[in-house]
Structure 1
Amino acid sequence: MKVVIFDMDGTLLDSKKDITISVNKIREIHYNMPPLSEEFIVEAINMEVRNLPKLFYGTEVYHERDRNAFEIHYAIQCIQNPYLYDGIKETLLELVNKGIKISVATNAPTPFALRMLKHLGVYELFDVIIGADKVAISKPNPEMLENILNFYKFNKSAHKAWMVGDNSKDMLSARNAGIDSIFATWGFSPISNHSLVVSNPKEILDIVL
């Protein structure tokens, strides 16, 4: 058995525009702050160590009203502008057709992930979709990946698995779970020194098949 676990934002799909719109909406309505650039928001999200409420709203922790308002806004906003990266759907279909098991491990909340993947027409291709709300600690902690591997009754001596992602948290989660990682350069963090690097989704097939 072969298993490929995909990150979502920056790996399967581009969600930068909608994340930026929702963050800036909270800045506007709660703090009367000017908008942040898309580049700043994406870089902040992908930092290994960061304080997002401080960077986004100037607060040391997320206030409940900010979190709730963001989730209400993004629940609608998240399907306004996302798109699958070129070659992703074809690659997913080919993996499934070849009998490869595929799942999603995302630090986004699961309801957003389900909504976006359904909207983009690839939801039914995945066996498991796990978001940050389903685990105690999100990536780079390996819990998300371990839950998926346990679903498949994965045996490291007999089976093979890869984590495909676009940032260091994805790569570290794979290492912490004891599986291989594939770095996708088309995502939110295009620079990598990882051993397995792909610049096109279809290159994943060359590694896995």
Structure 2
Amino acid sequence: MSRAAIFDLDGTLIDSPRAIVETFSAAFAAMGLRARDASATRATIGLPLEEAFSLLMGVPRHDARVAEAISWYQVSFREVILPKARSMLFPGVTEGLQALRDDGVALAVATSKFSASAAALLEAAGLRGQFDLVVGADQVTRPKPDPEMGQLIMQTLGVPAGRAVMVGDTTHDVLMARAAGMRSVAVTYGVHGVQELTSSGPTWMADTFEDVLTCLRAALSSN
């Protein structure tokens, strides 16, 4: 395969942001801490858990309380999100990914989740078998928006930047793609709004997963 579509996970393939906010709140409750404002928690989606909890708790990333919060988050993740993963798929995702594979496009996931959590979520949603590669934040030293994750995926798949497209719902995804020399599709149905996404300079904008497919087919058939 000489072409690749790289996808973010939460807010791009799976409509999980609301459940993620609930999971953060459950972690805080387990620690006896007050729940953070939902909008503040939602704003951290797309960041590695260490950074998200650090920001929300106002403590350094290596603080022991951050590690404790992540442990509670992972417990809640298994109890809250995984059981309903299939029902949270955005319309057209399952069929769209299969269509891309049928077209000979290599598929990968680049997520700020830990790799084990990402794999578990994809498995629960019935999508894991569609992807050639899943890369999480724990597999790189510099997560999004640094280009390292995108570069690792392209190197592993043997696909040059000009034949790869990143699809995501946050500016972190778009900025990573740009830094790695890739084009990008910013989806408007996820975490970041149109204005914020536009400020990061995506190559295309998509309002639905069907629109994503249209962009990818145009981009990858022209190479």
TM-score range, shorter chain: 0.7 to 0.9
Q: Is the 8 A contact 1:46 1:189 kept in 2?
A: no
Counting aligned pairs with the same residue, the percent is 25
The SS at the match of 1:136 is: coil
Q: Is the 8 A contact 2:46 2:111 kept in 1?
A: no
For 1:74, the equivalent position in structure 2 comes to 77
Deviates more, 1:183-192 or 1:161-170: 183-192
For 1:149, the equivalent position in structure 2 comes to 154
Gaps of 5+ in 1: none
For 2:105, the equivalent position in structure 1 comes to 100
Q: Tell me, yes or no, if structure 1 residue 129 matches structure 2 residue 134.
A: yes
For 1:113, the equivalent position in structure 2 comes to 118
One-letter amino acid matched to 2:124? H
Q: After TM superposition, where is structure 1 displaced by more than 4 Å over at least 4 residues in a row? A: none
Deviation at 1:78, TM superposition (A): 2.8
Report the TM-score, using the length of structure 2 for normalisation: 0.82
Deviation at 1:147, TM superposition (A): 1.1
RMSD value over aligned CA atoms?
2.1
Deviation at 1:145, TM superposition (A): 1.0
For 1:199, the equivalent position in structure 2 comes to 207
Deviates more, 1:14-23 or 1:169-178: 14-23
User: Structure 1 residues 21 and 179 mapped into 2: Cα distance closer, same or farther (>3 Å)?
Assistant: same
One-letter amino acid matched to 1:190? G
Determine which structure has the larger helix proportion and give its number: 2
Deviates more, 1:20-29 or 1:182-191: 20-29
User: 1:190 pairs with 193, 196, 217, which one?
Assistant: 193
Distance in 2 separating the partners of 1:44 and 1:195? 24
Q: Is the 8 A contact 1:17 1:81 kept in 2?
A: no
Aligned residues between the structures: 204
The SS at the match of 1:112 is: helix
Distance in 2 separating the partners of 1:25 and 1:207? 38
User: Structure 1 residues 59 and 2 mapped into 2: Cα distance closer, same or farther (>3 Å)?
Assistant: same
Q: Is the 8 A contact 1:23 1:56 kept in 2?
A: no
Q: Is the 8 A contact 1:15 1:81 kept in 2?
A: no
Deviation at 1:40, TM superposition (A): 3.1
Q: Is the 8 A contact 1:20 1:36 kept in 2?
A: no
Distance in 1 separating the partners of 2:187 and 2:154? 21
Summarize deviations over 1:123-143 as a string: whole Å, max 9, x none: 100000010011111111111
Q: Tell me, yes or no, if structure 1 residue 18 matches structure 2 residue 19.
A: yes
For 1:88, the equivalent position in structure 2 comes to 93
Gaps of 5+ in 2: 218-223
User: 2:182 pairs with 179, 184, 188, which one?
Assistant: 179
